[in-house]
Structure 1
Amino acid sequence: MIFKVIYQESSYEVPIRERSKSLYLEAESQKDVRKKLSDRGYNIELIQPLDEAHLEYEKQSEDFKLENV
């Protein structure tokens, strides 16, 4: 399953919407996503599973890139 992760680059940052970033990751579960990203020190705000329709919509964005972890 593909997940969209919205995060801040540092776990010490206060979440501010304008500075939030997103990435896309293939994983088994939300717990698996957190495990794969644990070494990056991100402040994860949201992990959203993408259904097929939402994934197709996200793929239309120029920022869509599936992370390799």
Structure 2
Amino acid sequence: MIFKVYYQEPGNEVPIRERTKTMFVEAEAERYVREKLKDRNINIELVQRIQGAHLEYEQQNVDYKVLEI
């Protein structure tokens, strides 16, 4: 499954919407995504499973890269 992770760097600052970044992660479940990313210095806002038309749309973006964990 592919998950879209909304996050901010660094993880110890107050979240500001304009600084939100995204990454795509391939994992079995949302729990595994959060476990693997907990060592990074990021503040995870949302982990969203994407599929179907939403996934196809995201794949058209030039910055679309999947992190396998």
Taking structure 1 as the reference length, what is the TM-score of the superposition? 0.90
Counterpart of 1:3, as a letter, is F
Determine helix, strand or coil for the equivalent of 1:46. strand
CA distance in 1, matches of 2:10, 2:64: 21
- Match for residue 3 of structure 1? 3
Are 1:52 and 2:52 counterparts? yes
Which structure has the highest helix share of the two?
A: 1
Determine helix, strand or coil for the equivalent of 1:40. coil
Determine helix, strand or coil for the equivalent of 1:13. coil
Percent identity over the alignment is 57
Contact 2:27–2:68 (CA under 8 A) maintained in structure 1: no
Structure 1 runs (4+) deviating above 3 angstroms are none
In the comparison of the two structures, how many residue pairs are matched?
69
Q: Which blocks of at least 5 consecutive residues in structure 1 are unaligned?
A: none
- Match for residue 20 of structure 2? 20
Q: For the aligned residues, what is the CA RMSD?
A: 1.1
How big is the shift at 1:41?
Answer: 2.0
- Match for residue 39 of structure 1? 39
Moved more, 25-34 or 8-17: 8-17
Q: Which blocks of at least 5 consecutive residues in structure 2 are unaligned?
A: none
